[in-house]
A and B are shown apart, each in its own frame.
Chain A
């Protein structure tokens, strides 16, 4: 198994930390992992993205041209990465702020209304965990139990009281994700 994932959105949406938690979850499941961020000027006010690879084998290139899964959180990222999903691959997106929706018919497209759900849960910081929940529901590359372990490892101890709220958000994401029509 090798799963090559791009997670892309605005800086501040928790894109990089979501990737880190996913990578840690992979380690908990004894997978090989890599986490390669975009860094620098493009992050400041622009788009932030991270490439995460989970594999049963040693990871070769951390830099990729095409992806098994694209997790998309804004319009710019959708425009940039929709063409780079492998045929038969997966695209999950939050429709909040999206004016041009995914158009490809040779990939599976799923919707997670994470921004509006996070507002309902009265906790914007759980936004990225709702998205993560949606992803592991559609493609269970890592088990929920290992994601929780990954959360514990990637959050500093002073934030461990937030783990139950994050877990709830992951479960909410698993419930609300739906295939795009």
Chain B
């Protein structure tokens, strides 16, 4: 581990990409994630590791460059913010269909449409339920600190190659723009130890040609391909990650991810100091979702409040996991407005503990 640095979340992602030995980054600027491309450009990674950094002519071009480069077995990534991620959805669906590994970063801003540039978590549905067309899933990691912005670049790529599936870092303007301490690992070499048997880097006499496509007009083959994808998504459960705070004796539970989980931590601290038995569950992987952990808590606590910077999205997955056993509520502020720990404490009193 190297020296401690004070950095924005967006800058930490960019530095971590260079250190993780990423081969190529293709992007297009948009607030609040432009620092990723800016930092990469200033760092001249072509001199540090030989990494390619390219500002494409649009988000659509960038994601299709990712598609092409990922087909060669290289570590590739892109980043954007909500409206830009919407533009990338066709390409992401193709990449998922073609089973290629890559890393996508979404530093979410308020929507819908061009919306606002303020932080939001309103892209939860888009990230965890597919986003583009077809029955596919992304591996979704939700960092809650600048350190995790850095750590999840390497982690996301590892999972992407393990499952040959796109991985998404679902961040937001708050974690992207704030500065915290961050410690980086040593520089990794820009070589890959992952399985390369499927890559399209030129056919040799010894093997059949490799084909990368998301088109399969034979209905039976497409059906079988879909079954294989679904089997893969089920297997991802072995990589579920989550964190708990003050849950051991909790009678009520908050569920929150990313920046919301940080704000909730302070609310839990304050609720505990006034004698309320409150805990916090923070899903780190949003897909695969820690549903079994939530089902277990449904046998321990009297009620759950899903706290999100949106109008109520993850709360649906929490309800599915709880399956009617206990009341599940949502508290959130949509459209880029950020709640404070005080707002959450009020919601705890009014909604979660209102009837007790």
- Which residues of B have CB within 8 Å of A23? 6, 179
Q: Give the complex CA separation of A134 and B211 in angstroms.
A: 67
Q: How far is the CB of B149 from chain A (nearest CB, A)?
A: 13
Report B158-202 residues with CB < 8 Å from chain A CB: 173-174, 177-181
- Which residues of B have CB within 8 Å of A65? 340-343
- Which residues of A have CB within 8 Å of B341? 60-61, 63-65
CB-based contact A61/B262 at 8 Å: yes
Q: How far is the CB of A84 from chain B (nearest CB, A)?
A: 10
CB-based contact B181/A33 at 8 Å: yes
Q: Who on chain B is nearest to A42 by CB?
A: B118
CB-based contact B340/A36 at 8 Å: no
Q: How far is the CB of A93 from chain B (nearest CB, A)?
A: 23
Q: Who on chain A is nearest to B245 by CB?
A: A60
Q: Give the complex CA separation of A59 and B261 in angstroms.
A: 12
**Contact bitstring A23-41, B, C-beta under 8 A = 1, else 0:** 1100100001111110111
Of the four ranges (under 10, 10 to 19, 20 to 34, 35 or more), the interface on chain B belongs to: 20 to 34
Is A146 in the interface zone, CB < 8 Å from B?
no
- Which residues of B have CB within 8 Å of A153? 6
CB-based contact A27/B265 at 8 Å: no
Which of B178, B264, B265 has a CB less than 8 Å from the CB of A36? B178
Is B215 in the interface zone, CB < 8 Å from A?
no
CB-based contact B174/A63 at 8 Å: yes
CB-based contact A20/B266 at 8 Å: no
Q: How far is the CB of B258 from chain A (nearest CB, A)?
A: 12
Report A1-51 residues with CB < 8 Å from chain B CB: 20, 23-24, 27, 32-37, 39-41
**Contact bitstring B257-301, A, C-beta under 8 A = 1, else 0:** 001001111110100000000000000000000000000000000
Is A62 in the interface zone, CB < 8 Å from B?
yes
**Contact bitstring A63-84, B, C-beta under 8 A = 1, else 0:** 1111000000000000000000
CB-based contact B180/A59 at 8 Å: yes
CB-based contact A34/B179 at 8 Å: yes
Report B319-340 residues with CB < 8 Å from chain A CB: 338-340
Q: Which 8 pairs, one residue from A and one from B, show the smallest C-beta to C-beta distance? A: A60-B265, A61-B266, A35-B179, A65-B340, A60-B266, A65-B342, A61-B263, A36-B178
17 A-B pairs within 8 Å (CB atoms) are namely A32-B181, A33-B6, A34-B179, A35-B6, A36-B177, A36-B179, A37-B178, A39-B31, A39-B32, A40-B31, A40-B116, A60-B266, A61-B263, A61-B265, A62-B262, A63-B263, A65-B341
**Knowing that A40-B117, A60-B269, A63-B259 are A-B contacts, what are 12 other residue pairs whose CB atoms are under 8 Å apart, sorted by A's residue number?**
A33-B6, A35-B178, A35-B179, A36-B177, A36-B179, A37-B177, A39-B31, A40-B32, A61-B340, A62-B259, A63-B341, A153-B6
A positions within 8 Å CB-CB of B: 20, 23-24, 27, 32-37, 39-41, 59-66, 153-154
